Amino acid sequence: MVAMKKKSVALAVSLMISMVQVLGGGVQPSKMTPAVYVFGDSTLDVGNNNHLPGKDVPRANKPYYGIDSPGSKPTGRFSNGFNAADYVAKNLGFDKSPPAYLVLKARSYLVPAALLMGVSYASAGAGILDSTNAGRNIPLSKQVIYFNSTKAEMVAKAGSGAVSDLLAKSFFLFGVGSNDMFAFAAAQQKLNRSATPDEVKAFYTSLISNYSAAITELYGLGARKMGIINVGPVGCVPSVRVANATGGCNDGMNQLAAGFDAALRTHMSGLAARLPGLAYSIADSYALTQVTFANPLAAGYANADSACCGGGRLGAEAPCQRGAPLCGDRDRFVFWDSVHPSQQSNKLGAKAYFDGPAQFTTPINFKQLANYKS
């Protein structure tokens, strides 16, 4: 049995070396966690959507996306370079985010990556609810299903004991919910009215129920360390601001996001009390973004309301694509396109969540979470 396990590990290492060569890029041995598993939306997607069928699937597979990435090529990230998942992984000791699940499946490298680095299941357009942008992404529930099948393949190669130990020490990163907010707001706008308090309450209940189910299922599969990036002030992205004559934020959408964040914070506290060994950190994207908006210059930004890449007013009236106006200094813009943060925003955000001011993480930061021993 021992000989078989050694053989499996040796095979995994060999395949991993091949995978790195094929995918391009190195992998640094992590000093803080053996692997990272990523679940979420376009803020964390590293290429899954490039492999989904359908003309309406959101993809970042054309210039100017990736203009600041190694090779200056689109990678499937909705950024000018690295995204939040990359910088969280970097802070944990890796070279970048683990590769996309669908890429690994297509190239038969899923198991070695899962064992030695992790896997990203994140999908642009995904929501906590299956109904959000249905048919055009991998919703959170399906991402968890994909992880379940990944684990089964890992166990077949390395054994249940080794995999259980690996998962208990690994970092599970989440960033999802914004698309649900956009979809809910759009539905109300279509009805030409505001949601009633009961409708908002029911919306939150559905979101928390689905999010809780995903986290609880992953816990049952062996996950113990959950890093959760909450929903930021979605009413302040350029695509929403441009609908306002003054270019100001949509306070109603921000209140919707803030209310969900409060409900999530309360629920996670109760969930941790019921699931022995579960440790978590909620990264407060909402608070960090609000602080940044209050004094952009202090954070090194010259512009906090417009897209760096796009067209028209606030860079939000035309898509980010080849030939679109492009800002000169991309590190000086909070937003890359009409919805997504710039590489610099991702970098500063991940740093704040890792070991920044205590106000941006609760109850512990990402660094403490990675080092947590139950």
Q: Give 94-135 pLDDT, tens digit per residue.
A: 999 999 999 999 999 999 999 999 999 999 999 999 999 999
Overall number of domains in the chain: 1
Least trusted range by pLDDT, from 5-19, 77-91, 146-160, 280-294: 5-19
What does DSSP say about strands 361-362 and 279-283: parallel, antiparallel, or unpaired?
A: antiparallel
When pLDDT is cut at 50, 70 and 90, the band that residue 374 belongs to is confident
- Model confidence at 324: pLDDT above 90: yes
Look up 337 and say whether it is catalytic.
yes
24 within domain boundaries? no
Q: What percent of the chain has pLDDT over 70?
A: 92
Catalytic residue from among 97, 180, 340, 345:
340
290 within domain boundaries? yes
Contact between 107 and 22 under an 8 Å Cβ cutoff? The reply is: yes
Catalytic residue from among 337, 338, 342, 345:
337
Rounded to 5°, the CA angle 374-173-331 comes to 130
- Model confidence at 5: pLDDT above 90: no
In this predicted model, what pLDDT tens digit does every residue of 183-236 receive, in sequence order? 999 999 999 999 999 999 999 999 999 999 999 999 999 999 999 999 999 999
236 within domain boundaries? yes
Residue 140's closest CA among 210, 56, 229? 210
- Model confidence at 21: pLDDT above 90: no
Whole-number pLDDT of residue 271: 97
When pLDDT is cut at 50, 70 and 90, the band that residue 17 belongs to is very low
Alpha-carbon distances of 162 from 108, 115, 156, 307, rounded to whole Å: 21, 10, 11, 46
70 within domain boundaries? yes
φ, ψ (nearest 5 deg) of residue 283: -85, 125
Whole-number pLDDT of residue 31: 62
Least trusted range by pLDDT, from 16-30, 93-107, 255-269: 16-30
When pLDDT is cut at 50, 70 and 90, the band that residue 284 belongs to is very high
- Model confidence at 326: pLDDT above 80: yes
Whole-number pLDDT of residue 30: 42
Contact between 347 and 82 under an 8 Å Cβ cutoff? The reply is: yes
Q: Which two tokens stand for residue 288?
A: 């960090």
Mean pLDDT score across all residues of the chain: 93
Structural domain boundaries enclosing 310: 36-371
- Coil, strand or helix: which one is 197? helix
27 within domain boundaries? no
Say how far apart CA 172 and CA 212 lie, in whole Å. Answer: 14
77 within domain boundaries? yes
Contact between 253 and 240 under an 8 Å Cβ cutoff? The reply is: yes
Alpha-carbon distances of 135 from 14, 71, 88, 178, 197, rounded to whole Å: 36, 32, 29, 17, 29
Contact between 42 and 65 under an 8 Å Cβ cutoff? The reply is: no
Catalytic residue from among 42, 120, 285, 342:
42
5 within domain boundaries? no
Could you give the count of Cα atoms lying within 13 Å of 73 in the half-sphere of its Cβ? 5
Q: What percent of the chain has pLDDT over 90?
A: 91
Look up 345 and say whether it is catalytic.
no
Look up 51 and say whether it is catalytic.
no
In this predicted model, what pLDDT tens digit does every residue of 56-70 receive, in sequence order? 999 999 999 999 999
90 within domain boundaries? yes
Q: 228 forms bridges with which residues in the sheet?
A: 174, 282
For residue 156, how many other CB atoms are within 10 A of its CB?
A: 12
Arithmetic mean of pLDDT, 237-245: 97
What does DSSP say about strands 36-40 and 171-175: parallel, antiparallel, or unpaired?
A: parallel
Query: What CATH number did the domain enclosing 350 receive?
Result: 3.40.50.1110
- Model confidence at 14: pLDDT above 50: no
